[in-house]
């Protein structure tokens, strides 16, 4: 019954008439009759918007994990950060929402300029000169970065730190089936990567080193160590980062990374059960022609007024086809625009304060939890805004128990990590108050007792 | 700022000056960095009462950056003014018709925005266990089931974030399947009319691209196809209706031929809007199907994204789907339905950081439920009716390279106008902007010279079609009447005029800082 | 529609044509009625399962209308396009500076929109009993207490929907009070600089208006005041700072004189923004104070409303306040605070359908809490600083009728430009639109010829002030340099140009139907 | 700590400098020192937006009556109607929200045209040629209508039907203290007004008759009867209506009203505990120069393009001052724009269907309730979309009991009406399903048992 089609029956008739057709089915005359669906789709008939909204709200109601019911201490690449009304209001403007890729720059300066500002902010944050207009998410950005690295180095062996988000490593492996990259996982010890000192000329010679900073366990890796291996091996250094941490941490670019990727959800995008998020990607000037995805550049119009346009299009699939640097077309522009707004809202001081607040809350929580007997650090290396603990209890059980107490306790490390079943990854954002944390710690103590 | 002077020479630009809003003027909008003034702020956080340790008490000093990252420092007022003005420099579906071929720029219902904003959907962490997110898993299963019914497939993965990601997923499924048969293959066939993402994905899938030409009717040339089909062909990627908006009538024969050599058929669902409830990829013989929810199912394109590109497959490919996947199981005391995650034993792995662009899935489900089975078929019927009306209406004015009934979109060509009057498809596109419409897709598909690819979608009314047709007639008339080159002046009344793309590529300015240097 | 024709001559206009959005063109936007086409729809309701009786089964037939009211029949897509395009034809604070004197067009924080949308505030029926709406009553008491502290008064009614409604409320309070003293009075004094709502309200209050002139310094002429003060004067209405943006220095003397004859002082709070936390009406001797929350407390003006005009009073007037009023009482077992409705015994009655523009009150409370006591004082300081900077900056360019320190706004005059060059304040206002700013208030207050009343507000940055000043200098320069009358051409780059107001009044077209007739 | 002021300390200093001032206090030199506040305001210091939002949400949480917790069966001029996402999205556009009265029509065509469309819709709905741009609410519109009527008739006696909303009558009485109108309340019998047949020439000769249609009890009044009295007395007929009912009911204009007023909240505005709402006002052509408030008219611009502008301004306070037809300045424009959007969403058929659905739901509920023993009709006259019942129980008690069962039962008639303490006014909108109503009826039966 619900429909968004304006046509009345009269209009349909007269249009068919004009086409010399008697029935609407004749529009599909070229579809072989044998193939046609002989019945209607087995879906419920159309419903009114209020009924549909109610139906979707029923689903929503069956998600006790929602942040308005469980206080969120989970992170792992998706964080419960402040999203101010102003960011929602501006990013929700329908001109940003209901437009598409700026193929006609004359009527797309709004999105183009917002993305240009986004690129500038990400480039500054990551410490590299060029950032693209977005990729799907952290995982896909990582895959693209490795592809770029392999192409640049001309070597398809990739050393992957175990400290990179397990899901991102999984996608990397999935895609390697197609690209043929040879992935070598390098273990963490006490939370940081210990690179093998194998002979760098042999068949294991890496074209890419991939490391997290901070890594999945929240630990601060030794980037110079990775850099020096790259220099010796002629490999590219790809760093997967947590962009919020960079409010305080030295940028991967400054540490010497060739490519930096990250998950941009932290800049104004809802948790939303995992998507749509925002893949962040920045690289060295030398790699700009290998850059995946769109890039907005500044130029001028006929009247010499400042204008923006997508540029270096020759890299892209619609022009380069099978030789393109990537297959990405539709990206996550709206989230990039959202991030530009959120980063402008935060500003220089706000982002630094945000990172600091997260680090303080994390330290406060970690100290309190480790004071509980039966709770040990999973890794000992210094952490920034996230950390893992080990308890007697299976982490899944711990999460269930704390849910009853009103908390989403964290993320079980799972079988991806040694003894991960008893490891819990915990993130504490600026939104958690001391009272909330104290209550969490108390419930935690009760749960593990 | 010169103290005591009568001028306030702050470094920042005036945030309150609105001439960059087309409503009031034609100036460029300053960047947020030019609006920035040291010490201004918009941000604020909760009061937490947590001890305020300093950086050096929290991390080893060598990890701390020497100075904060310079972003922008603006007041909330200037922040709002800047982005509101930028929005006034942006055309959108909500402002008018957007007949951008192949992109299905239909109206995006506002109720779907309300769905995506539900706290019980938007406020859920993706790592929360299934026991605490039954609603989300149930929603995803309902989406998967609807998409399978619509495409005629057995199961689907909801992970791919967009069409291209779906393509790669499909090719990796193809690969895994052939590998499982113990006979890896090396070639994938695509028609010369294919979208650029297809060949690009084929390469990423580790396959070699074999291109088949289109025949005089705009469809796959069957002989050419036969000549390239062999045991090394992993499969073929087709868009049906294809990018010319034409239905591949020989699809059954194509399927038989490809299957005969042991290949698989991949369906690029970008044009699914044309056949909803009329004919299903599964019934055509396709093994793998991706959908663009941001096209067919009306989720907003967001200025270039996000999208969602679920991939549905036939029975034999189900064991290879990415995981984890949500599934419904009947259990509990009175056999209640519950949902859980499962990963197929031969799964190719994972194609998303989490479970897919989930909030996009929720929007699409709302759209599907509002339309219903009956409504979706009508969507296809009217989309096709609109495109054919435009084709017929303009067939005297522009040439129609393949003059036969089209599906949801029609590809016109302005090559005659170019030959006779030097007016390019690009000029026509720019000129059309002045008439209040977004341009069609131009120069695609590549096999049509001076292509103007028009996809009206079903949500544009007959009156809008009429106005669009009249505008295109007017422009064709001008192309003939006006002095050559005069159309290169268009557009005149847009926030900026013709943009110098060559210069952008020549002296690359990808950031505000690069400008300073350049 | 002519069937078979190549044109779709539906009655409706093309909803998808966007040239009415300034972004793309200069055409007029059709009315929603012109977009309407019989049979189109956007609406849908819940499925209820309630028996579907026909009209004649529900009501006596003579009460049923013969045909439904013709409204518009549009698709949701056209509905959205129409109003989105209209929004592109509308200037607003969010687009740029809006220095409209006396209206305090400051930035409206978005967090207040979030507050007004809270389901627990927006979804409450006003007739629900106090026991089920304790949150709302508590919120209102908190608002009342904050407003009393800010104004220095004893209690307040939150009922008045805007300033003018507050004025009438205040005058009725005055009336009730004098009546209670057993001595009704007949005159209310207002200065010649007063806002039009004051005299209009005085009349509705059943009083006769006595106007006192302003002196050379722009303040109430004390002698003139003395000469009209007598036992028949119910009170005086003052705006302080007054509408010239000047502080009435003699306010203490005025208060004494008026009180001496038994009159009351009414404070028109439209300009309260100037004195927040600096000086309070109550401390100046006022008995009745209205506030415009949509000015001082940043609630959005909504294109002309809504507002909220609470009225605060001194002790002696509390018993007369409108009711019911929310009040806090301590009761319950362990003396918990609860809220209830009460009506003062001598209450003048009711001034609103319900309890006032409550969602506006909630917005204002959020604004007050974000700023806090300290922040509100700074609001006043910066508002006054900005106005004085503009005054000083432009004093050489325009004349400043009362050249002394001003408060939150400054009234300039362009009378010289008119005499010498025939350029009116109106022309300057229109020309300023072209420069990206909304115009100041013109021709008010009435006692200043060619008045340009500029209120920058505290949320405009120094850079914006500088740009505004430069624009006004530029215009003054043009007025001298350009041929007379050329400025009457302005504005050129707005959605429409100078509008024919005389014609609108001459042939009144108040509805789409009247157009058809006219 | 929170602030929306852009100025930095440096900027403040240099601006003061330019003014030749040393401190910011000197800006207030003209304020007599004796009057100045010698202390800071006794309000909490500024807080961050997140804290403030949380504080306001606490208030919201203490409103159990909210429609997402109690199903709403209350009406009385404020109704729980469907407000679609599209209406909220469009009415929430910041261009409509953050602009003011269209003093500069060249940059205010958006609001002006929307109001012009609103005026057209209200005029059509009310059956009169002219509607204004809005007044505050139903009560204030009623006051303005009576003022107009008295001025037009030149007689200041007003016959007020008891069936007009009690709050509106109260405001009328409050304002009559200033205008001196003589109000005579005319009782309802069985739910309809029984006009006195006094001699219409005497001192009680009315200048205005004010009647509700449908009235507060939901009953359908005999408008022709009132009209004929007006004709004989030379009085003006003012009808206070429920605009949604007019989707099915004959318009008051068609019935012969001179002025029609109503509460426009029903067209897309939230319940919001009573405000901001929307005062609707329409009148006969002959009264247009007495029209209160703003009026938008169509005209042309310099280039002869269609344009809109506020017109007949000479009626208004800023020009006419003490002789103005009304003192209204700021009105409820945003709600008028909202109503235009909502009415366009409803459209011709939708409004008719809305009214019909309300009438059906009301009939269904009324029949079920009257079947309960101990529940009687409060009035017997035919009703449309609202009705009153009488029970043994004090209505307040009934409301409390049904709240525990999850319903806002209705509105106690209260002492405004005879035996009103046991009378409950019930409204059932299109949003109530049969299941919800059945549950309500069951709970009702239990409560009165
Ligand atoms: C025919 C066709 N195939 C594939 C794609 C790629 O889809 P996406 O942009 O969602 O990656 C598109 C969209 O542009 C398309 O038009
Ligand atoms: C000085 C003054 N007094 C009174 C008013 C009337 O306030 P409102 O428009 O809220 O009725 C105004 C607002 O325009 C004003 O500027």
Ligand closest to the CA atom of residue D331: 2
| Chain CA centroid to CA A102, Å | 22
Q: What does B352-363 look like in DSSP terms, one character per residue? A: SSSSSSHHHHHH
Distance B163 CA to ligand 1 centre (A): 5
Length of chain B equals 518
Residues of D engaging A, defined by a Cβ cutoff of 8 Å: 49-50, 53, 82, 84-85, 89, 94, 431
Q: What is the pLDDT of residues D281-331, one digit of tens each?
A: 999 999 999 999 999 999 999 999 999 999 998 888 888 888 898 999 999
Whether residue C38 and residue A13 make contact (CB cut-off 8 A), yes or no, is no
D120 phi and psi angles, rounded to 5 deg: -65, -45
Give me chain B's average pLDDT, please. Answer: 95
| Short-list C295, C235, C245, C249, CA closest to C269 | C295
The tens digit of pLDDT for each residue in C259-310 reads 999 999 999 999 999 999 999 999 999 999 999 999 999 999 999 999 999 9
Q: Is the pLDDT of residue B370 over 70?
A: yes
Nearest-10 Cα torsion for A78, A81, A86, A87? -20
Interface test with D, best of B15, B22, B44 (most D CBs within 10 A): B44
Least CB-CB distance to D4: which of B8, B77, B113? B77
Q: Which residues pair with C442 in a beta bridge?
A: C452
- Give the residue among C421, C422, C402, C420 at the shortest CA–CA distance from C410: C402
d(CA B438, CA B93): 9
DSSP label of D250: P
Other Cβ atoms within 10 Å of A382 Cβ, number: 16
C36, C123, C176: residue with CB nearest D271:
C123
Q: How far apart are CA C103 and CA D100, in angstroms?
A: 8
Report the nearest atom of ligand 1 relative to the CA of B271: 1
Ligand 2: nearest atom to the Cα of C239:
1
Note the ligand closest to the C-alpha atom of B292. 1
Please state the atom number of ligand 1 nearest to the C-alpha of residue B295: 10
Query: What does the alpha-carbon distance between residue C488 and residue D302 come to, in Å, rounded to a whole number?
Result: 10
What is the spatial distance between Cα C59 and Cα A201, in angstroms, rounded to a whole number? 93
The fraction of chain B above a pLDDT of 70, given in percent, is: 98
Q: Report the greatest alpha carbon distance in chain B.
A: 87
Phi, psi of D189 (to 5 degrees): -125, 120
Give the model's pLDDT for residue D433.
98
* CA–CA dist D207, D233 (Å, integer): 7
Which pLDDT value is given to residue A318?
87
Interface pTM, i.e. ipTM:
0.98
Please provide the average confidence, as pLDDT, over all residues in chain A. Answer: 97
Phi-psi region of B91 (alpha: psi -120 to 50; beta: other; left: phi over 0): beta
The whole-number pLDDT of residue B9 equals 58
Q: Is the dihedral of CA D365, D369, D370, D371 positive or negative?
A: positive
Cα(C10)–Cα(A10) distance, integer angstroms: 10
Residue B5 above 70 pLDDT?
A: no
A partners (3+ CB pairs within 8 A) are B, C, D
CB atoms within 10 A of CB C181: 11
Q: Which residue in D322, D313, D272, D273 sits closest to D294, CA to CA?
A: D313
- Strand, helix or coil at B371? helix
D335 in contact with C, Cβ within 8 Å: yes
Residue of chain B with shortest Cα separation from D7: B40
* Contact yes or no for D13/C116 (Cβ under 8 A): no
D67 CB neighbours in chain C (<8 A) are: 119, 123-125
CA–centroid distance for C333 within its chain: 45
The answer to whether B26 and C26 are in contact (CB under 8 A) is no
* CA A175 to each of CA A172, A416, B347: distance values in angstroms, whole numbers, following the listed order: 5, 19, 13
Contact call for B25 and C436, based on CB within 8 A: yes
C162 lines ligand 2 (CB under 6 A): yes
CB contact under 8 A, A297 and B509: yes
DSSP class of C483: P
Give the tokens for residue B475.
Answer: 């422009």
Nearest ligand to the CA of C195 is 2
CA B117-B118-B124 angle, to 5 degrees, is 100
On whether the CB atoms of residues D52 and D2 are closer than 8 A, the answer is yes
Q: What end-to-end distance do the CA atoms of chain C give, in Å? A: 27
Structure tokens at C70: 């013709």
Beta carbons of D84 and A431 less than 8 Å apart: no
User: Where are the strands (E) in A11-80, listed by range?
Assistant: 71-72
Q: What is the pLDDT of residue C334?
A: 79
Instruction: Match 């991706």 to its residue by tokens.
Output: B290
Q: Quick one: angle between helices C197-204 and C163-180, nearest 10?
A: 40
Q: What is the mean pLDDT of residues D439-444?
A: 98
Q: Which residues contact B320 (CB under 8 A, 6 or more apart)?
A: B173, B176, B177, B180, B313, B344, B346, B347, B348
CA B204, CA B213: separation in Å to the nearest integer?
A: 22
Euclidean distance between CA atoms D259 and B295, whole angstroms = 51
- Extract the residue ranges of chain C whose pLDDT is less than 70: 1-10, 332, 518
Query: What is the reported pLDDT for B2?
Result: 38
pLDDT (tens digit, 9 = 90+) per residue, B301-327? 999 999 999 999 999 999 999 999 999
Contacts of A58 in chain D (CB under 8 A): none
Which residue out of D93, D103, D275 would a mutagenesis test of the C interface target, given it has the greatest number of C Cβ atoms within 10 Å? D275
Using a CB-CB distance cutoff of 8 angstroms, which residues of chain A are in contact with residue C77? 4, 6
Inter-CA distances, A66 with A53, A62, A408, A412, B135, Å: 18, 9, 9, 18, 10
Q: What are phi and psi of A427, to 5 degrees?
A: -120, 140
Q: Compute CA distances A206 → A186, A253, D159, D365, whole Å.
A: 12, 20, 95, 77
Could you give the CA distance from residue B100 to residue B411 in angstroms, rounded to a whole number? 11
Helix (H, G, I), strand (E, B) or coil at C301: coil
b/e sequence D140-176, b meaning 16+ C-beta within 10 Å: bbbbbbbbbbbbbbebbbbbbbbbbbbbbbbbbbbbb
Q: Which pair of structure tokens corresponds to residue C507?
A: 């042939």
3-state secondary structure of C303: coil
The DSSP bridge partners found for residue B209 are: B188
pTM check: above 0.90: yes
Neighboring chain D residues of B38 at a CB cutoff of 8 Å: 8
Q: C151 with C282: CB under 8 angstroms? A: yes
Is B8 in contact with C494 (Cβ distance < 8 A)? no
For ligand 1, atom 7: residue with the closest CA:
B163
| CA proximity to A241, closest of A255, A224, A225, A227 | A255
Give the residue-averaged pLDDT of B502-516.
95
Euclidean distance between CA atoms B246 and B275, whole angstroms: 11
Helix (H), strand (E) at residue D118: helix D109-126
* CA proximity to B471, closest of B99, B83, B123, B221: B99
Please, which pLDDT band fits residue B53 given cuts at 50, 70 and 90?
very high
Phi and psi at residue D363, in whole multiples of 5°?
-60, -45
> Are the Cβ atoms of D49 and A84 closer than 8 angstroms?
yes
Residue A339 to residue A345: CA distance in whole angstroms: 9
Q: C98 CA to middle of ligand 2, Å? A: 16
Structure tokens at A384: 């920034």
Question: If pLDDT is split at 50, 70 and 90, which confidence band does B331 have?
Answer: confident
CA dist., res. C159 & res. C166, Å (int):
8
Write down the pLDDT at residue C1: 37
Q: Answer whether C460 touches D (CB < 8 Å).
A: yes
DSSP symbol at D307:
E
Ligand 2 mean position, distance from CA C308 (Å): 11
Q: How far apart are CA A377 and CA A413, in angstroms?
A: 13
Instruction: Report the b/e string of B383-401 with b at 16+ CB within 10 A.
Output: bbbbbbbbbbbbeebbbbb
Nearest beta carbon to residue B504 from set A28, A29, A297: A297
3-class secondary structure, D298: strand
Interface contact flag, D86 B111, Cβ < 8 Å:
yes
Within a 13 Å sphere around the CA of A217, how many CA atoms are in the beta-carbon half? 30
Q: Which residues line ligand 1 (CB under 6 A)?
A: A 329-330; B 102-103, 162-164, 195, 197, 239, 243, 268, 270, 292, 307, 309
Instruction: Decide if D303 touches C, using CB distance below 8 A.
Output: yes
- Residue with CA nearest ligand 1 atom 6: B163
Residue B228 has pLDDT above 80, yes or no: yes
Task: Write out the two tokens for C303.
Answer: 């294109």
Per-residue pLDDT, C3: 43
CB contact under 8 A, A99 and B277: no
Task: Confirm if A81 and A429 have CB atoms less than 8 A apart.
Answer: yes
Residue A136 near residue A281 (C-beta atoms within 8 A): no
pLDDT band of residue A120 (cuts 50, 70, 90) is very high
- Name the one residue in this structure whose structure tokens are 């930095």: D8
Bond preceding residue B315 cis, omega within 30 of 0: no
Give the DSSP H or E segment for C362.
Answer: helix C358-394
Please, what is the end-to-end C-alpha distance for chain A in angstroms? 57
Residue range B337-360: average pLDDT? 97
Pull the structure tokens for residue B112: 């779907």
Q: What average pLDDT does this structure show over B168-191?
A: 97
* Phi and psi torsions of B380, nearest 5°: -65, -45
How much distance in Å is there from the Cα of C172 to the middle of ligand 2? 18
Which structure tokens are listed for D108?
A: 């205010």
C45 near D354, Cβ under 8 Å? yes
What local confidence, expressed as pLDDT, does residue A91 receive? 98
Which of D54, D84, D357, D435 to mutate against chain A (most A CBs within 10 Å)? Answer: D84
Using only C-alpha atoms, chain C has a radius of gyration, in whole angstroms, of 26
Q: Tell me: the pLDDT tens digits for A177-196?
A: 999 999 999 999 999 999 99
Tens digits of residue pLDDT in A16-70: 999 999 999 999 999 999 999 999 999 999 999 999 999 999 999 999 999 999 9
Residue of D nearest to C437 (CA): D107
Cα–Cα distance, A131 to B510 (Å, whole number): 8
pLDDT of residue D207: 97
């Amino acid at each position: 019954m619900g429909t968004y089609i304006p046509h009345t029956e009269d209009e349909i008739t007269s249009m068919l008439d004009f086409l010399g057709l008697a029935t609407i089915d004749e529009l599909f005359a070229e579809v072989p009759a044998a193939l046609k669906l002989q019945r209607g789709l087995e879906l419920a008939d159309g419903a009114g918007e209020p009924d549909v909204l109610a139906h979707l709200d029923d689903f929503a109601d069956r998600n006790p994990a929602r942040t308005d019911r469980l206080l969120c201490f989970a992170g792992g690449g998706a964080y419960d950060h402040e999203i101010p009304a102003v960011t929602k209001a501006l990013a929700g403007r329908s001109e940003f929402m209901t437009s598409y890729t700026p193929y006609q720059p004359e009527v797309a300066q709004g999105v183009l300029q917002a993305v240009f500002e986004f690129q500038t902010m990400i480039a500054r944050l990551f410490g590299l000169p060029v950032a693209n207009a977005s990729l799907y998410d952290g995982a896909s950005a990582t895959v693209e970065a490795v592809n770029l690295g392999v192409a640049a180095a001309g070597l398809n062996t990739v050393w992957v730190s175990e400290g990179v988000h397990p899901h991102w490593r999984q996608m990397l492996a999935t895609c390697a089936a197609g690209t043929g990259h040879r992935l070598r996982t390098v273990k963490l010890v006490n939370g940081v990567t210990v690179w093998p000192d194998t002979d760098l000329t042999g068949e294991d010679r890496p074209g890419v080193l991939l490391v997290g900073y901070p890594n999945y366990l929240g630990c601060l890796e030794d980037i110079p160590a990775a850099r020096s291996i790259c220099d010796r091996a002629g490999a590219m250094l790809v760093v997967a980062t947590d962009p919020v941490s960079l409010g305080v941490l030295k940028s991967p670019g400054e540490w010497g990374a060739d490519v930096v990727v990250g998950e941009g959800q932290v800049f104004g995008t809802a948790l939303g059960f995992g998507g749509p998020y925002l893949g962040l990607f920045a690289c060295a000037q030398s790699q700009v022609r290998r850059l995946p995805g769109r890039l907005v550049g500044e130029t001028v119009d006929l009247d010499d007024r400042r204008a923006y346009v997508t540029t270096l299009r020759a890299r892209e699939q619609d022009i380069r086809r099978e030789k393109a640097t990537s297959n990405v077309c539709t990206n996550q522009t709206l989230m990039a625009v959202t991030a530009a707004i959120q980063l402008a809202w935060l500003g220089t001081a706000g982002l630094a304060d945000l990172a600091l607040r997260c680090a303080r809350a994390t330290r406060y929580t970690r100290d309190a939890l480790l004071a509980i007997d039966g709770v040990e650090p999973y890794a000992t290396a210094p952490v920034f805004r996230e950390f893992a603990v080990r308890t007697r209890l299976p982490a899944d059980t711990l999460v269930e128990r704390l849910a009853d107490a009103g908390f989403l306790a964290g993320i079980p490390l799972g079988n991806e990590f040694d003894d991960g079943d008893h490891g819990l990854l915990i993130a504490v954002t600026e939104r958690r108050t001391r009272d909330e944390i104290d209550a969490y710690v108390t419930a935690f103590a009760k749960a593990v007792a | 700022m010169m103290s005591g002077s009568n001028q306030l020479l702050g470094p920042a630009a005036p945030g309150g000056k609105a001439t960059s809003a087309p409503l009031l003027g034609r100036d460029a909008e300053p960047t947020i960095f030019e609006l920035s003034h040291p010490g201004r702020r918009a941000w604020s956080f909760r009061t937490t009462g947590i001890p305020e340790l300093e950086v050096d008490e929290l991390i080893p000093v060598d990890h701390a950056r020497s100075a904060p990252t310079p972003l922008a420092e603006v007041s909330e007022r200037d922040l709002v003014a800047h982005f509101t003005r930028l929005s006034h420099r942006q055309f959108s579906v909500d402002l008018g018709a957007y007949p951008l071929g192949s992109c299905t720029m239909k109206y995006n219902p506002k109720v779907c925005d309300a769905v995506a904003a539900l706290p019980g959907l938007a406020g859920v962490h993706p790592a929360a266990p299934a026991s605490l997110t039954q609603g989300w898993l149930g929603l995803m299963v309902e989406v998967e089931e609807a998409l399978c019914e619509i495409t005629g497939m057995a199961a689907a993965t909801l992970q791919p974030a967009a069409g291209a990601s779906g393509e790669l997923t499909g090719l990796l499924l193809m690969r895994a399947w052939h590998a499982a048969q113990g006979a890896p293959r090396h070639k994938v066939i695509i028609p010369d009319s294919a979208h650029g993402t297809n060949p690009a994905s084929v390469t990423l899938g580790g396959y070699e691209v074999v291109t088949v030409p289109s025949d005089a009717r705009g469809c796959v040339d069957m002989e050419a196809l036969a000549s390239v089909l062999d045991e090394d062909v992993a499969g073929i990627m087709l868009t049906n209706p294809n990018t010319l908006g034409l239905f591949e009538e020989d699809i059954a024969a194509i399927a038989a031929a490809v299957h005969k050599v042991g290949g698989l058929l991949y369906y690029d669902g970008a044009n699914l809007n044309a056949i909803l409830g009329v004919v299903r990829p599964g019934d055509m013989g396709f093994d793998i199907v991706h959908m663009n929810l941001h096209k067919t199912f009306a989720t907003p394109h967001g200025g270039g994204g996000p999208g969602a590109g679920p991939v549905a497959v036939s029975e034999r490919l189900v064991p290879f789907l990415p995981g984890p996947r949500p599934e419904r199981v009947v259990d509990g005391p009175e056999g209640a339905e519950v949902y859980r995650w499962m990963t197929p034993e031969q799964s190719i792995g994972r194609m998303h950081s989490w479970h897919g662009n989930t909030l996009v899935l929720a929007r699409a489900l709302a759209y599907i439920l509002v339309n219903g089975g009956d409504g979706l078929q009508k969507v296809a019927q009217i989309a096709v009716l609109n495109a054919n009306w435009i084709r017929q209406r303009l067939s005297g004015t522009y040439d129609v390279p393949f003059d036969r009934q089209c599906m949801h979109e029609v590809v016109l060509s302005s090559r005659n106008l170019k030959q006779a009057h030097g007016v390019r498809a690009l000029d026509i596109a720019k000129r059309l902007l002045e008439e209040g419409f977004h341009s069609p897709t131009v120069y695609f598909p590549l096999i049509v010279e001076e292509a103007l690819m028009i996809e009206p979608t079903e949500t544009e009314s007959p009156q809008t079609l009429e106005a669009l047709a009249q505008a295109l007639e007017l422009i064709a008339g001008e192309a003939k009447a006006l002095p050559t080159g005069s159309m290169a002046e268009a557009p005149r009344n847009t926030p900026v005029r013709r943009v110098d793309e060559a210069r952008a590529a020549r002296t690359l300015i990808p950031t505000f800082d690069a400008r300073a240097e350049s």
